[in-house]
Amino acid sequence: MWEVENYTDFLAARRELLAGTANSFLAGLRSSALPDTSTTLERTTMVADVPDDQDSRADEVAALITELTELGCSEPAVDSEIADPATGQVLAIAEACWPEGLQPGQGNPVVLELDPGEAAELARLSELGYEVFTSCDSLRGYVRRRNQEAAGLTAEVRAAFERAMKDVYVRAKKEANYTAGYFLTMLSSYGGLGTAHRLLASSEVSSGFTALFERGRLDLTVEALAVKPEFADLFTEDEVETARERLRQLGYL
């Protein structure tokens, strides 16, 4: 009964127990007899049918947490509610959350949210400094890349990608007459790789992607960079497939 998905069942069971106790008490008052307090309410257990996909998701999250712990990450808070400190609005109920970073005091807080809400809520989480991941695969890839970077295995590739991201901004302005102001702001805030992860995690293509498509310059998009073999180690399979699919739908690949 102490599972979030069983909350409505809990309320229904509690309602019945409270109604029964209240009716007994009122009946006792009418008969001028004191209610019997020698008996106590028994604990009620209800078994709710849990969809198979929820079981598999729970198993997937548990396996991910075990794997990340073995990779040196701290234990996360699970089924954690994250509220906006300014308004109190619930922005997400995360399957897992590392409020102090994957390792305490190192990096931004990290959230795994497999049922992301509105894009504005995800944007607000990013504004608050959270690294938001909407799939186990993307978070797993992020941790592995971070560990590789710590070992210096992808530092050179990442530096090349950072240069390439800045280069597409310059070329888009010069060659396609498109000034990607918001893209430049993201580069300043999150760096090239962080910007790419955020754009590929979005359920919709960016306005910059659309603008460059209209100009016939999809080669200057983040998606075009993400599918290049030399940058394969920087992205998960899901991210690369997202980039490929966006480009494929418009005939670029």
> Domain-by-domain residue ranges, the chain?
1-49, 52-143, 154-249
Distance from C-alpha of 84 to C-alpha of 86, rounded to nearest angstrom: 5
Contact at 8 Å (CB) between 178 and 212?
yes
pTM: 0.46
pLDDT at 218 over 70: yes
Query: What single-letter DSSP state applies at residue 218?
Result: G
Query: What single-letter DSSP state applies at residue 103?
Result: B
Mention every residue, 6+ apart, whose C-beta is less than 8 A from residue 41. Answer: 17, 21
Across 143-147, average pLDDT: 79
pLDDT band of residue 31 (cuts 50, 70, 90) is low
Least confident of 35-39, 61-65, 133-137, 249-253: 35-39
Helix (H) or strand (E) holding 77, with range, is strand 77-83
One-letter amino acid at 96 equals A
Contact at 8 Å (CB) between 86 and 105?
no
pLDDT band of residue 62 (cuts 50, 70, 90) is very high
Longest dimension (CA), the chain: 92
Query: What single-letter DSSP state applies at residue 119?
Result: H
pLDDT at 2 over 70: no
Tally of CB atoms within 10 A around 238: 16
The two three-digit tokens of residue 170, written as one number: 């310059």
The two three-digit tokens of residue 248, written as one number: 């494929």
Least confident of 99-103, 147-151, 207-211: 147-151
Across 27-55, average pLDDT: 61
pLDDT at 163 over 90: yes
Least confident of 96-105, 182-191, 202-211: 96-105
